[in-house]
A = this chain, B = another copy of it.
Amino acid sequence: MVEISSDVIRGYTDTMILSILWDEPSYGYEISKTIRMISDGKYVIKETTLYSAFSRMEKNGYLKSFPMEDLKTGKKRTYYSMTDAGRKYYIEKCEEWELTKEVIELFIRKEGV
């Protein structure tokens, strides 16, 4: 069973989170469920990784947190929304990804080659 190593994901958890926040604000638990769902269970972000990413990104000005009540349950949650800097950062990371992918693939052998 091939598994994704955290060393590869490292540096892209932020991008995943921002990708989800692009359209609308959300909060921790919901984001983690969304990531699991989108990746079809192939990647499950650890809680500590998630919340440390939040505080890092808020410190860097990519996110803003605010308390809000969950629309469905009415419970108080800590929501996060993207800032303009966050959108810019996300777009840059997407460009960086294309380059990184290209470079790494120069050193990868496809199955059967």
Judged by a CB distance under 8 angstroms, whether A97 is at the interface is: yes
Judged by a CB distance under 8 angstroms, whether A71 is at the interface is: no
Closest to A91 in B: B109
Tell me the number of copies of this protein: 2
Judged by a CB distance under 8 angstroms, whether A19 is at the interface is: yes
Contact pick for A19, options B99, B102, B107, CB 8 Å: B107
Judged by a CB distance under 8 angstroms, whether A95 is at the interface is: yes
Closest to A97 in B: B108
Query: Taking A39-B103, A97-B104, A103-B42 as contacts, is the C-beta distance between A109 and B19 under 8 angstroms?
Result: yes
Contact pick for A16, options B16, B97, B102, B107, CB 8 Å: B107
Min C-beta distance of A111 to chain B, whole Å: 7
